[in-house]
């Protein structure tokens, strides 16, 4: 998925109701952890790429904690709050959305590190493993990028647009 394709997908998904978006994001979580990261780790191990294997393990634990927080706290509250004034829950929800968005900056940095590993993969050696690994790393990166944008722009943004009293013009 190139940047234009990601933007096209975003445009297509913008009108989706919150429930559909959350169902899509939950399915992504399952695939990222249960399939993509597991398979990438197996391939990295089989190719003897210990640093990549270790890095994928770090990403796996970071994402596991983040996804758990989204699925158990953030998504359910957002679903309950749709079409309603967040009222007293607003500060807590705003805090949670900011926290998730800050994690996403770390995930973006992780994707850059992951990308930097691609140059170390020699497609001449063990091409039956190295080529699937490269393809999987590319697909994972663009799917994660779309995932982060869907959450930041469509799911969290509505709860972040009201700033506190720092700037009355924005409140
Ligand atoms: Fe997510
Ligand atoms: Fe997230």
pLDDT 10s digits, 91-120: 888 999 999 999 999 999 999 999 999 999
Convert the pLDDT of each residue in 63-74 to its tens digit. Answer: 999 999 999 999
Residue 162 has what pLDDT?
A: 59
- Across the chain, mean pLDDT equals 90
**Does residue 50 belong to any structural domain of this protein?**
yes
Ligand nearest to the CA of 26: 1
**Does residue 47 belong to any structural domain of this protein?**
yes
Give distance in angstroms: CA of 43 to centre of ligand 2.
Answer: 25
Convert the pLDDT of each residue in 149-171 to its tens digit. Answer: 999 999 999 888 755 444 444 33
- How many domains are contained in the chain? 1
Query: For 2-17, what is the mean pLDDT?
Result: 93
Query: For 127-152, what is the mean pLDDT?
Result: 96
**Does residue 169 belong to any structural domain of this protein?**
no
**Does residue 165 belong to any structural domain of this protein?**
no
**Does residue 164 belong to any structural domain of this protein?**
no
Give distance in angstroms: CA of 123 to centre of ligand 1.
Answer: 32
Give distance in angstroms: CA of 49 to centre of ligand 1.
Answer: 28
Ligand nearest to the CA of 31: 1
**Does residue 125 belong to any structural domain of this protein?**
yes
Residue of 124 and 128 predicted with greater confidence: 128
**Does residue 16 belong to any structural domain of this protein?**
yes
Residue of 146 and 2 predicted with greater confidence: 146
| Residues 6 or more apart in contact with residue 93 via CB below 8 angstroms | 74, 77, 78, 81, 86, 159
Give distance in angstroms: CA of 99 to centre of ligand 2.
Answer: 10
Q: Which domain range does residue 12 map to?
A: 3-158
Give distance in angstroms: CA of 29 to centre of ligand 1.
Answer: 6
**Does residue 36 belong to any structural domain of this protein?**
yes
Residue 83 has what pLDDT?
A: 66
């Amino acid at each position: 998925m190139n940047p234009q394709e990601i933007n096209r997908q975003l445009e297509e998904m913008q009108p989706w109701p919150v429930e559909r978006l959350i169902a899509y994001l939950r399915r992504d979580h399952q695939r990222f952890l249960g399939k993509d990261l597991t398979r990438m780790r197996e391939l990295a191990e089989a190719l003897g790429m210990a640093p990549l294997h270790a890095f994928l393990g770090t990403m796996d634990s970071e994402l596991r904690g983040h996804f758990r927080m989204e699925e158990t706290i953030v998504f359910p509250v957002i679903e309950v709050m749709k079409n309603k004034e967040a009222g007293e829950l607003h500060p807590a929800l705003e805090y949670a959305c900011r926290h998730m968005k800050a994690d996403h900056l770390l995930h973006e940095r992780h994707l850059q590190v992951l990308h930097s590993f691609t140059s170390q993969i020699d497609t001449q050696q063990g091409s039956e493993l190295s080529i699937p690994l490269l393809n999987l790393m590319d697909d994972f990166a663009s799917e994660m990028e779309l995932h982060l944008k869907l959450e930041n722009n469509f799911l969290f943004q509505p709860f972040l647009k009201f700033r506190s009293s720092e700037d009355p013009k924005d409140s």
